[in-house]
Structure 1
Amino acid sequence: MNGRLDRATVFVDADNTLWDTDAVFAESQLALLEAVEAGVGRRTAAADRLAFLRAIDQALAERHHARLRYPPRLLVRATELALGGIDGDSAARAAWRGGQTYRLSDDQAGDIERRFFETLAHAPEIRPGVLIGLSALEQAGCLLLIVTEGAKAKVERNAERVGVAQFFERIIEGPKAPELYRRVLSFTGAPARAFMVGDQLDRDITPAKTAGLRTIFFPGGFQPRWTPAVEQVRPDYTIASFDEVPDIVLGQRRATAAGSKA
């Protein structure tokens, strides 16, 4: 990956930065809620059905070492308990402890979990400005790398689906720790001109800042409730569309102290 010393390196997160994974998750979660409701014969009275389910989801994720990648069957069980009339946090705690009596059998819960994964495999939509932004970065000679904590094979598949795979030299799978960025930059030959574009302040922006990269925050549609405030993390830039990235990388837009638009 060695290149010219003046070549900018741009790391880009995948899910909810290049494509809208959150919309696919929302579709999958609402389908799971509907299936649990049908199985137990109860419906939530909540006006915002997605918010009802995501309160349970967040409570489970806060208790699990894998955070939002916890086993979906836990969500099935906690949702059944919440439909029985207890709040989301209590339902999550009870499902986590185990030993509960459920109306849904193990086979029913397993079938709902399987259908959840099937819906989760639906193709996502590309996010605003991505094709224009990546094309401009490629034309400017930038080295483009996807960095992800998700499964590399799934990221490759989605990159092909939305038509962006050809822009990237490599997909790097691994924990987004400062050491990962430093290790990759040692091969690019341009550590002084390195950027990270991501939608998560804690998972994308913070470790990249620690590694010395310029950071570009591209907020997605969903932020977990444990996410720090923008004012705490202070990304160098905040954008509303990916096609703003080339001007930043090419030095045509200055950063601001608060990491907002300049």
Structure 2
Amino acid sequence: MLGCGYCRQLDYFEIVNNKQREFFSVNEKKLVIFLDSGDTIIDETTEVRDSEGIVLSASVIPDADVMVKTLYNRGYTLVLVADGDAQSFKNVFKQQGLYDYFTAMIISENIKATKPSPRMFKAAAGAIELNEADYSRIVMVGNNLSRDIKGANALGITSVFLSWTSRYPHTPADESERPDYTIAEPLELLELVEKLNAALLNNVS
């Protein structure tokens, strides 16, 4: 897999899948995608932990790996924004071959704060040299209304609730937890982000 720095020097990505070839212009991807981990990419029920509570291994939820790889190959910048121990995420994302698809990983252990704290989202934006003026071009995708959605909404970041798991509430406690969009499965994000990215480009032109 090509590293992010090299990929951004190319005008186009070439993706071969099922003998079909598609081209996506890197320069046409204005939207930036923040992703949660647990039950958004990684199935929390499959986590194997050591005696210190560090996750040693886990499985992805269905098609989450395809979602991550497809978004990356289409030229989107991906940032992990997750609560937990940094070593846990390093273990699992390397195990699943997804670690290098992320431009940055913002982990609560390192930030000394957890979502919905604005520090998590501001750190994620800062890691890719974005500021408050850029929040309108960011989407946050997560499974937790009180953390992912509430935190994104508070900063004017577009919120996308992935309702795949039944282990967390699906009904907002109040308006601060109401998502801008809801998807049931990871692959539904692909069409949504293309529409959101197109809307951003139309507003610029």
TM-score, normalized by length of structure 2?
0.66
Residue by residue over 1:132-183, the C-alpha shift from the partner in whole angstroms, topping out at 9 and shown as x without a partner, is 2112211222110111120111101101112211211111112221243234
Listed as ranges, the gaps of 5+ residues in structure 2 are: 9-26, 109-113, 198-205
Find the aligned partners of 1:185 and 1:167 in 2 and give their Cα distance: 17
Alignment map for 1:227-242 (pairs within 5 Å): 227=169, 229-230=171-172, 232=174, 233-242=177-186
Query: How many equivalent pairs are there?
Result: 161
Structure 1 residues 234 and 252 mapped into 2: Cα distance closer, same or farther (>3 Å)?
same
Per the alignment, in what secondary structure is the counterpart of residue 242 of structure 1?
coil
Give the secondary-structure state (helix, strand or coil) at the position aligned to 2:106: strand
Bigger Rg, structure 1 or 2: 1
* Counterpart mapping for 1:166-205 below 5 A: 166-174=100-108, 175-176=114-115, 177-186=117-126, 187-188=129-130, 190-205=134-149
Paired residue type of 1:181: F
Tell me the CA shift for residue 231 of structure 1: 6.8
How big is the alpha-carbon RMSD for the aligned residues of Structure 1 and Structure 2?
Answer: 3.2
- Hey, what does 1:160 align to over in structure 2? 94
Question: 3-state DSSP class of the match of 2:66?
Answer: helix
* Paired position in structure 1 for 2:34: 11
Distance 1:221 1:164 in 2: 25
Alpha-carbon distance between aligned partners in 2 of 1:240 and 1:212, rounded to the nearest angstrom: 23
Which of the two has greater strand per residue? 2
For each residue in 1:190-221, what CA deviation from the matched residue of structure 2 results, as whole angstroms up to 9, or x when unmatched?
Answer: 43210111111111111111111111111324
In the TM superposition, 1:109-128 aligns within 5 A as 114=51, 121=55, 123-128=57-62
- Higher helix proportion: 1
Letter in 1 for 2:125: L
Equivalent residue in structure 1 for 2:75, among 132, 141, 150: 141
After the TM superposition, list the runs of 4 or more consecutive aligned residues in structure 1 that deviate by more than 4 angstroms. Answer: 3-6
In 2 relative to 1, CA 198–121 (structure 1 residues): closer, same or farther, beyond 3 Å? Answer: same
Report the Cα distance in structure 2 between the residues aligned to 1:188 and 1:5, rounded to whole angstroms: 17
Residues 248, 205 of structure 1: alpha-carbon distance in 2 compared, 3 angstrom cutoff: same
Partner residue, 2:11: none
**Match 1:222 to one of 149, 163, 167:** 167
Between the two structures, name the one with larger relative contact order (CA 8 Å, sep ≥ 6): 1
Are the equivalent residues in 1 in contact too, given 2:82–2:106 (CA < 8 A)?
Answer: yes
Identity %, equivalent residues: 22
Separation in structure 1 between the aligned mates of residue 123 and residue 39 of structure 2, nearest angstrom: 25
Matches of 2:120 and 2:58, distance apart in 1: 27
Cα gap change, 1:157 to 1:229, in 2 (>3 Å): same
Offset, 1:122 = 5.2
Paired amino acid for 1:199: N
1:146 touches 1:171 (CA, 8 Å); kept in 2? yes
1:22-53: CA deviations, max 9, x gaps? Answer: 3438xx8xxxxxxxxxxxxxxxxxxxxxxxxx
SS in 2 for 1:133: helix
Point out where structure 1 has 5 or more consecutive residues left out of the alignment. 29-112, 254-262
Mapped to 1, the partners of 2:149 and 2:63 lie a distance apart of 20
SS at match of 1:156: helix
